[in-house]
Amino acid sequence: MSEVFDFSGNKDFFPGGSIYPNPKESSLFLSLGPNVDVFFPPSKRSRVNAPYVFSGEKFERKQPSIEVLPDECLFEVFRRLYGGQEKSACACVSKRWLTLLSSIRSDEVCIKEGPKSLEPEEYEAKKTMDCNQKGEMANSKGIKPDLEAEDLDIVEDGYLSRCLEGKKATDVRLAAIAVGTGSRGGLGKLSIRGSNARRGVTNFGIKAIAHGCPSLRVLSLWNTSAISDEGLIEIASGCHRLEKLDLSHCNAVTDKALLAIAKNCPNLTSLTIESCPNIGNGSLEAVGHYCSSLKSVTIKNCSLVGDHGIASLFSKAGNVLAKVRLESLNISDVSLAVIGRYGNALTDLALIGLQNVNERGFWVMGNCQGLLNLRSILVTACQGVTDVGLEAVGKGSPNLKRVCLKKCAFLSDNGLVSFVKAAASLEIFQLDECHRITQSGFFGMLINSCGKLKALALANCFGIKDLVFGSHFRALPSSIRSLAVRNCPGFGDGSLSTLAKLCPNLVHLELSTLGGITDEGLLPLVESSEAGLVKVNLSGCVNLTDKVTAAIAKLHGCTLEELNLDGCKCVTDATLFAIAEHCSLLSELDVSKSRITDAGTAALAGADQLCLRILSLSGCNLVSNRSLLSVEKLGQTLMGLNIQRCYGVKSDALDLLAERLWRCDILF
């Protein structure tokens, strides 16, 4: 050993002078790490790399770096950071630092101020006060407050919201959001729609949100196949304030995750599960048992959900559930019977595509007398909707106000009339693709509504055939204020003349894609309206002319606010002249694919009382550049303009108009 310390470089041990001026400084010599090729006694391996290395004939000193510290040390440093700016600055150093920062739970943060540690409530209060003071100081100096995360929106409830779609949905971005929003209370609403094909969202990103955003209230995951139970269990343990959960096409999520959510998130009020093949009855049973605040449930296309799950949900949470939507499920009449028995708080019910539900299910649901608070029901493509079943639902729901029936192939006129008589509070009724309904059922429903029906919509019902009732027809006027008939080829002038006797209180009128109606049929209905029409939609009625459209403007100009004449190819400038003269409240006008010219638009521009906000001239081939001058005069109030497929208008004139009407949204 003495030879080593007395070595002066004259021997072959090292081709140079003495390493140290004082060769007896063994402490410096022995502090070298294992990477230095010299002799020293065996010792514990150093975790830090040596500050000296050999390179040729001399030592090179490495620059000191905090990166040599292990993750455990950095974790202890990061959890002692106080402000959000400091955390955001550290997160920008490297992906490693960002990962460590995002892994710190809220209860692992060490907050100290002087000798006294702050309680979480005191810390939140102080943090809010400091943020307010910083904001006031920044505003007083004309400086905008710094934001740690980008593209954050403030929603109505006052918490931060973020939506990631497609390529933007990555784990790194979620970790940055978790760190950046932590100093402002954390994220309140997060929606992830799809994910990056190469670096998609995984459990790591969801864990970062769970650690950094304990105040998360709304979480929506759509088409995120890499997120499994592991990520959602972390959300359950870290985000106890969760109120709304939306899972769609999450193939890796099972009942285990939903069980954890139900146990740890007592404030859950809304649950949506769509196309999740591994979620079944166990999830619904757990949610019904633990979530006492549950108000809304939507379940769609989940093959493992059956009668047991629906029965467990309603038997345990039926006294709080208000809105339920069941679509494309393998459930039977048993589920409907349970809904009718335990759905005491149910106000909105939607049953869609339930192929295994028969007439008995609807009959039992209506006769169980449990749907006393039901206000709205939607039934689509359910074979069990028959005359008997629908009448039972009407009798068992005394407060039912809104009904929508779609694709009910076995419903007939008798069942429709019986239902209207049984539903004592019915106000809004919609029928779509019910082909067994004829003119008799349609008018029978109006006559037997006992003055309570306010809105009626009929669409795509090919069983309607135009009938002309004789002069002996007498009926009390109905209370209908809104009438909509769409794409019913058999609906013609005879039906309109009968409606003129039954509907004197019409305010909203929609007759779209009805090629069988003419001026002679519609004019009596227009003249019979005593309340004054406010919204009129006659799109696709190709046989209507200026005679009836101008009459609408003259008779109801004081009340008319919206007029849609899209596709009425026989309408000309005469209608626009009448509008300019009589309509003072009109705000939306659509005359697309009509025969109007520049003279008609000039008349609109010359009407001082007219305050149009939306104007559509799409497909009007007789309109030229002169109309743009007229449109420019409407620019003070105009917010939307559609002049697509107006081939008489040149592109340079459109560019000039767009510059002058910079407040208006122009489609061309």
Q: What is the pLDDT of residues 287-335, one digit of tens each?
A: 999 999 999 999 999 999 999 999 999 999 999 999 999 999 999 999 9
pLDDT at residue 469, as a whole number: 61
Q: Which amino acid is at 226?
A: A
Q: Which residues contact 43 (CB under 8 A, 6 or more apart)?
A: 30
DSSP states of 239-264 = -TT--EEEEES-TT--HHHHHHHHHH
pLDDT at residue 129, as a whole number: 41
Q: What are the φ and ψ backbone dihedral angles of 338, each rounded to 5 degrees?
A: -65, -40
527-549 in b/e form (b: 16+ CB < 10 A) is: ebbeeebbbbbbbbbebbbbebb
Is 165 in contact with 200 (CB distance < 8 Å)?
no
How far is Cα 589 from Cα 370, in angstroms, rounded to an integer? 47
pLDDT at residue 79, as a whole number: 72
Q: Which residues contact 440 (CB under 8 A, 6 or more apart)?
A: 413, 467
pLDDT at residue 37, as a whole number: 45
Is 570 in contact with 550 (CB distance < 8 Å)?
no
How far is Cα 60 from Cα 212, in angstroms, rounded to an integer? 42
Which portions of the chain are predicted below pLDDT 70?
A: 1-67, 71, 75, 78, 80, 82-88, 91, 100-104, 106-158, 182-185, 196-197, 468-476
Is 637 in contact with 662 (CB distance < 8 Å)?
no
Cβ atoms within 10 A of the Cβ of 608, count?
7
How far is Cα 209 from Cα 593, in angstroms, rounded to an integer? 52
Task: List the structure tokens of 419.
Answer: 């239902």
Classify residue 366 by burial, with Cβ atoms within 10 Å: 0-12, 13-18, 19+. Answer: buried
pLDDT at residue 131, as a whole number: 42
The full length of the chain comes to 668
